[in-house]
């Protein structure tokens, strides 16, 4: 368990982290999602012990590690792997030499480095690239080298700061699958820092939403995104809508409003819309619909136009909410 307790960080008079509390369970993939400037990279540097908080603490298992220094800090840091958006590889070294680097500077036996590097490159699926200069590798291959390097000293935790943000969707998929597989086979704790909803919905189990230096929501991916409470979480979920459905014509007809309806769990088995129409004098026009996968669970989402008298529309929305459907007024982004 990694605990972040009331962590604050101020840069140039600006509260970048303003009292962050998170508990990250072991042996899972934990997501921290937020927009650019939310404080994600600052948080991961503090959680990974590259930087100290102004106040608050970072606790690994039961041990407060944020006040470690000297050799104890270096040793503890070695048990953390980190990967970044821009890979941070040595461009003058080959893939194999990059992976060898952390072994050279740790107390790894010199005569075992060669085989360990081979083993690590094999683990990330690029054993054949050992002697390739970094400049010859694709983005996905570079991230694989970075992952192999991060795992060299058998860390307990892998921190990934926007690890797939520079990659195309297909490569993103393959890197996420690799991270998931490594998490399972090595019993790693993986912390995924991202602004990409796809990353969270594909591989994370729990998630925190960071906004303006504060955690605004926390829970399982399904809980957080099927019942979004904060505007920023709603924005992230809106990104999951297929592109062609994001831009819907604006309504000009009086007495008509557009809503997003989200269905999860038991309500997905009920004929809820036909019951709505029998109960209230409203009409429903379905404009768009999709099913999202949230960490393996389904969530249905419909964008509908509801027409009728204002009172009937208000009552219809309240009725839907009571019946477990998340109702949100729809605004074109």
Ligand X SMILES: Nc1ncnc2c1ncn2[C@@H]1O[C@H](COP(=O)(O)OP(=O)(O)O)[C@@H](O)[C@H]1O
- What is the total count of residues that contact ligand X (CB under 6 A)? 11
Closest-by-Cβ residue to Mg ion is 41
Write out the H or E segment, with its range, that includes residue 102.
helix 95-105
**Least distance (Å) from Mg ion to the CB of residue 280?**
47
Q: What is the bridge-based pairing of β-strands 206-211 and 29-33?
A: parallel
Out of 11, 25, 91, 136, point to the residue binding ligand X (CB under 6 A): 11
Residue range at the interface with Mg ion (CB under 5 A); choices 38-46, 128-136, 151-159, 317-325: 38-46
Interacting residues of 304 by C-beta distance below 8 A, sequence separation 6+:
258, 259, 261, 284, 285, 286, 287
Interacting residues of 82 by C-beta distance below 8 A, sequence separation 6+:
44, 48, 50, 150, 158, 159, 160, 161
**Least distance (Å) from Mg ion to the CB of residue 163?**
11
Residue 41 binds to Mg ion (criterion: CB under 5 A): yes
Residues 25-54 that bind ligand X (CB under 6 A): 34, 36-42
Residue 11 touches which member of ligand X, Mg ion, none, C-beta under 5-8 Å by kind: ligand X
Residue range at the interface with Mg ion (CB under 5 A); choices 33-41, 98-106, 166-174, 216-224: 33-41
- What is the total count of residues that contact Mg ion (CB under 5 A)? 2
**Least distance (Å) from ligand X to the CB of residue 192?**
13
Write out the H or E segment, with its range, that includes residue 238.
helix 231-238
Show the beta-strand stretches assigned E in the chain.
Answer: 2-11, 14-24, 29-33, 55-60, 63-64, 80-84, 157-161, 189-194, 206-211, 214-220, 256-263, 283-294, 297-307, 326-329
Choice between 84 and 280, CB closer to ligand X: 84
Residue 36 touches which member of Mg ion, ligand X, none, C-beta under 5-8 Å by kind: ligand X
Residue 96 touches which member of Mg ion, ligand X, none, C-beta under 5-8 Å by kind: none
Choice between 41 and 201, CB closer to Mg ion: 41
Residue range at the interface with Mg ion (CB under 5 A); choices 14-22, 41-49, 73-81, 140-148: 41-49
- Tokens 């909410």 correspond to 321
Residue 120 near residue 144, CB atoms below 8 Å: no
Task: Count the neighbouring beta carbons within 10 Å of the beta carbon of residue 238.
Answer: 17
Choice between 30 and 330, CB closer to ligand X: 30
Choice between 165 and 307, CB closer to ligand X: 165
Q: Can you tell me the distance from the alpha carbon of 193 to that of 47, in angstroms, rounded to the nearest whole number?
A: 11
Q: Which residues bind Mg ion (CB under 5 A)?
A: 40-41
Which positions touch ligand X (CB under 6 A)? 11-12, 16, 34, 36-42
């Amino acid at each position: 368990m990694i605990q972040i307790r009331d962590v604050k960080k101020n840069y140039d008079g600006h509260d970048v982290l303003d009292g962050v509390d998170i508990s990250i369970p072991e042996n899972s993939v934990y997501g921290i999602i937020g927009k650019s400037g939310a404080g994600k990279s600052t948080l991961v540097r503090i959680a990974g012990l590259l930087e100290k908080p102004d106040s608050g603490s970072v606790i690994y298992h039961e041990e407060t590690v944020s006040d470690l220094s000297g050799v104890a800090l270096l040793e503890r840091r070695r048990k953390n792997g980190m990967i970044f958006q821009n890979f941070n590889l040595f461009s003058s070294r080959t893939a194999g030499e990059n992976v060898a680097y952390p072994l050279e500077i740790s107390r790894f036996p010199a005569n075992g480095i060669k085989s360990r590097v081979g083993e690590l490159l094999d683990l990330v699926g690029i054993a054949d690239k050992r002697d390739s200069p970094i400049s010859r590798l694709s983005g996905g291959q570079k991230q694989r080298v970075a992952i192999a390097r991060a795992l060299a000293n058998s860390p307990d935790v892998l921190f990934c700061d926007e690890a797939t943000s520079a990659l195309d969707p297909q490569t993103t998929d393959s890197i996420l699958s690799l991270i998931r597989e490594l998490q399972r086979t090595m019993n790693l704790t993986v912390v995924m820092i991202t602004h990409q909803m796809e990353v969270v919905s594909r591989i994370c189990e729990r998630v925190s939403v960071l906004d303006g230096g504060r955690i605004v929501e926390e829970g399982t991916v399904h809980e957080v995104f099927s019942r979004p409470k904060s505007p920023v979480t709603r924005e992230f979920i809106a990104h999951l809508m297929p592109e062609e459905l994001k831009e819907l014509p604006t309504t000009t007809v009086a007495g008509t409003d557009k809503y997003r309806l989200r269905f999860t769990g038991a309500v997905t088995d009920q004929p809820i819309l036909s019951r709505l129409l029998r109960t209230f004098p409203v009409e429903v026009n379905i404009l768009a619909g999709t099913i999202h996968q949230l960490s393996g669970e389904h969530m249905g989402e419909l964008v509908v136009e509801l027409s009728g008298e204002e009172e009937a529309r208000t009552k219809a929305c309240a009725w839907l909410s009571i019946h477990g459907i998340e109702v949100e007024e729809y605004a074109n982004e």
